[in-house]
Structure 1
Amino acid sequence: MRERYRNGLAVIDASLDVFRARPRLAVLPLLSLATVGTAYAAVGLAFLHYGLLEAVLENEFVKYGALFAALAISSGVGVFFNAAVVHCATRQFDGEETSVRDGLAAAWDARREIAKWGLVSATIGTALYIAEDNVPGVGSLIQSILNLGWSLLTFFVVPVIVTDRTGSLRSEIRKSGDAFARTCGESITAAFGIGLALLPVTLTGICMLAVAYVSATGLTAYALGALGGVLVVATLVVTQVLGMIVRAALYRYATDGERVGPLAELDPDGIFVDN
């Protein structure tokens, strides 16, 4: 198992080459962040304007409804733009020309499946939150374990939506779970390794923001705040793009045994170990 984790790190390193070849993919997670942020801002302003904030805080039904809506928006938008990244990455793997517009068009074609998954994710997330609040014995630890299990089971859902278009929730979950089972070591390492690799940059950005807020003044505060914000956003964007590139490549390998993209230059006998 330790060898499989080292193999995953090699996959992450190779995915950087794919990103360098198509840096415009960074536009897609930026659009995702902007869309989710705009939607949340609009909803927040509406709540403040109509005086609904107190109802959200005091009425459980309204609170859970607001939580469901927030999760549905973030999940649906996230899957949409991730699907666009996976489509572009897959076309690049096959040596075909692609663009951000192509990715958005492909994601729009799969909009029904994407909307469905946004609602499913929101339902699961809301149900776990309600259970933690109201069911004895379901604490934060159990909720975290259940969330982790669901995340691993649906690790490859976006590549499944983009490449298979089964239209069936059960089929999509099964395909994602099967692909994860075949590449669990590489997949887990990819998921955590990318974040860990970029963690120093993220912490630097957070420290700059903290210094700008706590102790800096004038132009220095604005400069540190702006640079810190750029670093944090940049790491979020790069992490998202690399994660989708790796998932697209690993899904192709898990289903077809074909090494593409970040996996193409890796020796299958030395990198992939069948268990």
Structure 2
Amino acid sequence: MTSKYRRGFEITRDSLRIFTQRPTLLVLPALSLLAVGSAFAVLGAIVVQRGLVASLLTNDLYKYGALFCAIAISSSVATFFNAAVVHCAAQLFDGNPTSVRDGLAAAWGARRQIALWAVTAATLGTVLYILDEKFGVVGSLTRMVFDLAWALLTFFIVPVIVLDERRSLRRQLRRSGSLFRDTWGESVSATLGVSFAFLLVALPGVALAAAGYFALDGAVAAGALVAGGGIVVAAIVGSQTVSAVVRTALYRYATTGAQVGPFDARDPDAVFPDG
């Protein structure tokens, strides 16, 4: 059992090496945040312009429709750019050259599976929200249980979409759940390792922003808020990038038994050539 957790932390360590050697992968999650933010800004402007704010608060049809759209947009965009990171990570693990453009092309090739996945996630998320809202404590407990089960079932869904030949969503979900069952110890420890590493990165940003808000004044306060917020956003983007790399490494470990691709037998300088 202990060896499972140790392997998970080792996978996190080696995935962080991918991140430090190819920081350009940060572009993909950054684009994801930008795209989601832009989409929500456009939708918000449309809602305000058409005077739908009151309807969203009082009309269930409008509210649930807006919730479905929000989940579908965020899920599809996040999955698309995570798929690009997964493709790049898989290529690097094989010792092949890759680029952000290659990752985006691979994600575009899986666009139908990504869209189907996003619609499914949005449908389930909306239904669970309705249960939570309409059925009190029972609905809340049901939502908590399903949220946890769904998170575990779909832990490997993006690597499966990108790297697996299965095209049926049912088969993809079964494959993802099976892989998590086989590697739950490694998956849990690797996820905790990534979270802890980037929490350490984010904490100085939180402290700086807090100082700017509570203790400083004027331009110094504004600068501290901006700098602190920038550090937190960078930590979020970095965490998303490394999480995608880690899940790719775990996917390879679960399907082949090889630990994090090239690091067992190859010189990292050969895996990450200059340029």
State the TM-score, normalized to the length of structure 1. Answer: 0.91
Give the distance between the partners of 2:200 and 2:123, measured in 1 at CA: 34
Offset from partner CA, 1:15-66 (integer Å, 9 cap, x none): 1111122110000000000000000111111111111111001111111110
What code does the residue aligned with 1:182 have?
D
Cα distance in 2 for residues equivalent to 1:50 and 1:216: 40
Superposition deviation, residue 138 in structure 1: 2.7
Q: Which moved more, 1:192-201 or 1:222-231?
A: 192-201
Q: Deviations over 1:214-262 (max 9, x none)?
A: 4422221121112111111111111111111111111112112233348
Look up the match of 1:13.
13
The residue number in structure 1 matching 2:183 is: 183
- Aligned twin of 1:252: 252
Q: Where does the alignment leave 5 or more consecutive residues of structure 1 unmatched?
A: 266-275
Q: Is the Cα–Cα contact under 8 Å of residues 72 and 119 in structure 1 kept in the other structure?
A: yes
Aligned to 1:106: 106
- Tell me whether 66-75 or 232-241 shows the greater mean CA deviation: 232-241
Structure 1 equivalent of residue 73 of structure 2 = 73
CA contact 1:18–1:261 (8 Å) conserved in 2: no
Identity %: 50
Does the aligned pair in 1 maintain the 2:131–2:140 contact within 8 Å?
A: no
Residue identity in the other structure for 1:44: G
Any conservation in 2 of the 1:132–1:140 contact (CA below 8 Å)?
A: yes
Contact residue 36 and residue 74 of structure 2 kept, 8 A: yes
Aligned length: 266
Cα distance 1:172–1:93, how it changes in 2: closer, same or farther (>3 A)?
same
Closer/same/farther in 2, CA of residues 55 and 81 from structure 1, 3 Å limit = same
2:26 partner letter:
A
> What code does the residue aligned with 1:72 have?
A
The separation in 2 between residues aligned to 1:46 and 1:215, in whole angstroms, is 38
Q: Which residue does the alignment assign to 2:155?
A: 155
Distance 1:214 1:102 in 2: 45
SS of structure 2 residue aligned to 1:138:
helix
Structure 1 residue 193: deviation in Å? Answer: 2.2
1:28 and 1:85 in contact (8 A); partners too: yes
The 5 Å alignment of 1:134-173 reads: 134-173=134-173
Deviations 1:130-181 (A, max 9, x none): 0111135434344223211101101001000101142201110011011111
* Structure 2 Cα separation of the partners of residues 49 and 214 of structure 1: 35
- Encode CA deviations 1:172-215: one digit per residue, 9 max, x unaligned: 00110111111100111222221122213323322322332344
Query: 1: CA distance between counterparts of 2:157 and 2:23?
Result: 24
- Residue 268 (structure 1) aligns with: none
Aligned twin of 2:268: none
Give the match for residue 95 of structure 1: 95
Equivalent position SS for 2:259: coil
Distance 1:141 1:209 in 2: 35
Cα distance, 1:78 vs. partner?
Answer: 0.4
Paired residue secondary structure (1:166): coil
Indicate conservation of the 8 Å contact 2:11/2:259, yes or no.
no
Superposition CA RMSD, Å: 1.8
Q: State the secondary structure of the residue aligned to 1:212.
A: helix
Alignment match, 1:30: 30
| TM-score normalised to structure 2 length | 0.91
1:210-225 residue pairs with structure 2 within 5 A? 210-225=210-225
Q: Give the distance between the partners of 2:40 and 2:263, measured in 1 at CA.
A: 38
Find the aligned partners of 1:144 and 1:109 in 2 and give their Cα distance.
34
Provide structure 2 residue ranges, at least 5 long, that are not aligned to the other structure: 266-275
Report the equivalent of 2:47. Answer: 47
